[in-house]
Amino acid sequence: MQVAGAEVLVRETIRRLGDRIEPTIFCLDAVGRIGEELVAEGADLVCFHRKPGRDWRVSQRIARAVRARDIEVVHAHQYTPFFYSALAKPLCGFRPKVILTEHGRHFPDRVSPLRRAVNRLVLDRLADSVTACCHFSAQGLSRTDGFAGARIEIIENGIEVERYGPPADKALAKEDAGLEPDRRYLIHVARHHPVKDQVTLLRGFAASVPDLPGVDLLMVGDGPLRAELENLAVDLRVPDRVKFLGIRTDIPELMCAAEAFALTSLSEAASLTLLEAMASGLPAIVTAVGGNPEIVRHESEGLLFPRGNVNGCADAIRRLFRDPELTARLGAAGRERAVERYQLGRTVEEYYALYSRLAGR
């Protein structure tokens, strides 16, 4: 239960459904920051402390926990939790219904022939429901992993749209966020991990810097690549133009203070931070990968460019910061799309309807 999209969704599902469910959180490896938050709020959490490799005893422990709590539905977010939960199901007399929800996909997206065969012949039959957060993830489950495509249901991600929105006074919003009111900001929010490809973002931003003297880049997040990225900013001679802010709890305020949002991932499903940026009225610069084109339409809510394309990234940054009318139009369209389509309440209610159906309620 680290700070990431699927984990945030689990937290908000538990909070919003309240006494309509009796939740228990299963963590394979460690409790994590979000897990600690929920435990402090009184949530029931079981951590299995999985050993490296395939730890077959995890399924036995899941089965014991399910039986002890008389759990009716196990909702496994991502493949590995589903793998262990599906194998636990026969140990419980097939009592719990098991849901697989696919969020992101690996890059490159390949699996072994053995895994595909096991999925098709065994695990797909142990899943009572299979869902995905976008069509890209659903296609990966079917084409790559071997799950039956016809049964996969799309339940799109959602966010607390009401927490986000364009500020009435941009200069004041910058002051409130501790930023300089006379500068403009491109914001990026993601863990510092190879799949997020912040290297392309930094190189693209550095290439645009000579043309945009009043623009800085906000890097929000943390991860194993942070030191490497900070060094890269120095090598590109833009350390004074890139601000590494670490993990922040004031994302809505930072979004209000920015002019545009960038996400340069090599692979992406349905990014929550992208939805938050759209809800904040920010135009998005994103790679044309995964679920990004499902959320952001080129020249409608943002600008898309090929993964790893530094020049494409730089050109998109220049366009937005040179054309205030384009920035305003794309930002307003993104806000409208987020409000109409990506409400967290709708996502949670769709999951609750699925839980109720599987539990026979």
Task: Please say whether the dihedral angle defined by the alpha carbons of residues 115, 125, 49 and 27, taken in this order, is positive or negative.
Answer: positive
Per-residue model confidence (pLDDT) at position 252: 96
| Helix, strand or coil, per DSSP, at residue 132 | strand
**Location of structure tokens 């422990």:** 61
How many whole angstroms separate alpha carbon 132 and alpha carbon 140?
A: 10
- First CA to last CA distance, the chain: 29
| pLDDT value, residue 5 | 80
Contacts of 255 (CB under 8 A, 6+ apart): 164, 187, 261, 276, 277, 280, 282
Per-10-residue mean pLDDT, the chain, length 361 = 87 95 96 95 96 94 97 97 97 94 86 95 96 95 92 95 95 96 97 95 98 97 95 98 95 97 95 96 97 96 98 98 97 98 96 97 85
Closest CA to 60 of 48, 45, 75: 48
CA distance 348 to 197: 30
CA distances 154 to 251, 311, 347, Å, are 27, 34, 10
How much is the pLDDT for 56? Answer: 93
Q: What is the pLDDT of residue 3?
A: 78
> Which run of H or E residues covers position 30?
none
Residue 352 structure tokens: 């609750």
361 vs 349: CA distance, rounded Å: 14
Task: Find out whether 95 and 66 touch, Cβ atoms under 8 Å.
Answer: yes
How many other CB atoms are there within 10 angstroms of residue 19's CB atom?
5
Residues in a beta bridge with 246: 220
Res 107: pLDDT: 81
